[in-house]
Amino acid sequence: MRKGETILDHARRAGVEIYSECGGKGECGRCVVRVERGTEALSPPTDAERKFGLGEDLRLACQAVVVGEGDIYVYISEFGKYSILTETRRREVPLEPLVRREGDRVLYDGRPIDSYRGGIYGLAVDVGTTTLVLEIVDLETGETVGTAARKNPQVSYGNDVISRIEYTMVDKYGLRYLGPEERMERVKELQRAVVGAVNEEVRKIEGKISHLIYEVVAVGNSTMRNLFFGIDVSSLGLIPYEPLRKEPFTVPARELGLELNPNAVAYAPPLIGGHAGADALADVLMVDMHKSEDVVMVIDIGTNGEVAIGNRKKILTASCAAGGAYEGATVRCGLGAVEGAISNIRIEDGRAVFSTIGDKPPKGICGSGLIDLLAELLRNGIMDERAKIKAPFEVTDGIKLYQEDIYQLITAKAGLKTDQELLMKYYGVGLEEVKRVYLSGAFGNYIDVRNAVEIGLLPPVPEKIVKIGNGALEGAREMLISRTRRREAEGLLDLITHTKPNELEEEFAYLVAENMYFGRRRRDVCPGRP
């Protein structure tokens, strides 16, 4: 270990995953490790560590700095296997991949790239802020031959995109902005983390066919897509918060560090704008919004949330930091969708009745459980319409929801609700004119729609809400197997206008504040057609 660096720094460099929601600021308390040997070589506990009341030999990995000589042995607890959605609402699309067989040759877009070796495969990847999902597809039949999912190892650098952007921009020890070369070193570090995880998962797929994978299509929000392709993301942390590269492009897969066929290529679908990326574009493609006569809406709730509304005439999009609190961040009892996380809750006679992922002993509450809990507290009069509770609510021993946790949750849902309402306003429609509301992503797939409507996270039309599973992954798969769908995706940019409601609305903060609570709105921001 190098002197002057933290345990978290060393773990990152070694490719060891330590959960660090705050990106190493000592604020979240999630990167707890046990020092088995070598305590004397570490700096004393900091004020940040003392406030968490850690037990003997326990340290925050982001605060424990190597200051002396000698070996240091650290135990990193496994915080559970993630429950990640790989299922999609599968659709029939023309099988016309850019990679195909002609006799004994493999062609990419008509150009010979290899001899036929018994199979031609492609890889669709959804690079989420918290999770990583991939699907291997037989490009000769269109059939899926393997799927894999895991948490994105970049969580060691922070739970949200802002933390990761900041990591590429700022030297937290020297308290200075990094120069261009140093910035790119950090970008490459983050790229290696996620690409290394893809390589690991591909190697696990039965059949050992990595050498027969000839194309990759990777989607993600603007930060995640560009980090996957090794592109500087610092512009997304500075006004006007736009990515340096939005256009689609193709690069040799080996340049990214992907261990596939030596001639494989990786395709980056276009970004919409701001933090609305290729994942939002894939969602829009997947529901055929650009072909619809009816006005429809897509909501993708994640650490970065996206909303799109429109039809074949025009489409509007917006994005916001929506899901951090609902994915375990900033909530004391919050937990990601891991084994032991309480995933659904109801209140009976004032007491919580719940179940956990994997039927394991409860460790905390994941997003779907937090939505249930808020709705049940409201429904049972334990929380009032101003989101106030008289005392912390105990779910089970050691797991309580505090007033400050509720504040984090209602703030997170308010931003997404405000974007939904303002997009309808900008489009000139009322909710009654929106024919369907598509709910995309793992978080949306597992929540109780009735409870999400109850707390205002989703529009009050449960009969119109349709869960589509991992829409981003399905959109990536369609772009992988069909050049027609890929052209359609690229053509969507001419139809989509990305909006930034926080810049367009002088009273945006007021609108968000109104949407934090559960009482009757004082005014309507969605009046329908003018």
Average pLDDT of the chain, as a whole number: 89
Task: State residue 123's pLDDT score.
Answer: 98
Task: State residue 401's pLDDT score.
Answer: 96
Q: Is residue 89 predicted with pLDDT exceeding 70?
A: no
Domains parsed from the chain with CATH numbers: 7-75 (3.10.20.30), 99-275 (3.30.420.480), 279-323+408-515 (3.30.420), 333-395 (no CATH)
CB 116 within 8 A of CB 106: yes
Tell me what the mean pLDDT of segment 205-230 comes to: 94
Looking at per-residue pLDDT, the higher value among 41 and 237 belongs to 237
d(CA 78, CA 17): 10
CB 491 within 8 A of CB 360: no
d(CA 20, CA 31): 5
Task: State residue 529's pLDDT score.
Answer: 35
Distance, C-alpha 230 to centroid of its chain: 18
Q: Is residue 464 predicted with pLDDT exceeding 80?
A: yes
Task: State residue 446's pLDDT score.
Answer: 84
Structure tokens at 115: 């001899």
d(CA 127, CA 321): 16
DSSP string, 199-263: HHHHHHSTT--GGGEEEEEEEE-HHHHHHHTT---GGGGSTT---S--S-EEEEHHHHT--S-TT
What are phi and psi for residue 223, nearest 5 degrees?
-70, -45
Those residues with Cβ within 8 angstroms of residue 384's Cβ, 6 or more apart along the chain or in another chain: none
Q: Is residue 301 predicted with pLDDT exceeding 80?
A: yes
CB 209 within 8 A of CB 114: no
Beta-strand relationship, 73-75 and 58-60: unpaired
CB 104 within 8 A of CB 81: no
Report the alpha-carbon angle 174-179-183, nearest 5.
90
Task: State residue 82's pLDDT score.
Answer: 54
Distances from the Cα of 520 to the Cα of 131, 512, 517, 524, angstroms: 36, 14, 9, 10
Count of all residues that appear for the chain in the document: 530
Among 12-26, 40-54, 123-137, which is the least confidently predicted range?
A: 12-26
Q: Is residue 21 predicted with pLDDT exceeding 70?
A: no
Could you identify the residue written with the tokens 């719940």?
Answer: 354
d(CA 410, CA 60): 28
Distances from the Cα of 41 to the Cα of 6, 7, 24, 281, 481, angstroms: 11, 11, 20, 50, 54
Structure tokens at 305: 């949330």
Task: State residue 497's pLDDT score.
Answer: 97
Helices 403-427 and 367-379, packing angle to 10 deg: 100
Task: State residue 88's pLDDT score.
Answer: 58
Task: State residue 525's pLDDT score.
Answer: 41
Could you identify the residue written with the tokens 């609402």?
Answer: 89
Looking at per-residue pLDDT, the higher value among 236 and 521 belongs to 236
Tell me what the mean pLDDT of segment 64-93 comes to: 67
Other Cβ atoms less than 10 A from the Cβ of 466: the count is 14
d(CA 414, CA 442): 20
Q: Which amino acid is at 323?
A: G
Closest CA to 153 of 132, 122, 139: 132
Closest CA to 99 of 125, 137, 126, 133: 137
Among 216-220, 227-231, 330-334, which is the least confidently predicted range?
A: 330-334
d(CA 311, CA 297): 9
Looking at per-residue pLDDT, the higher value among 35 and 477 belongs to 477
CB 85 within 8 A of CB 44: no
Among 100-114, 165-179, 274-288, which is the least confidently predicted range?
A: 165-179
Buried b (16+ CB within 10 A) or exposed e, 451-461: bbbbbbbbbeb
| Number of Cα atoms under 13 Å in the Cβ half of residue 523 | 7
pLDDT band at 234 (very low <50, low <70, confident <90, very high): very high
Closest CA to 32 of 45, 19, 42, 43: 19
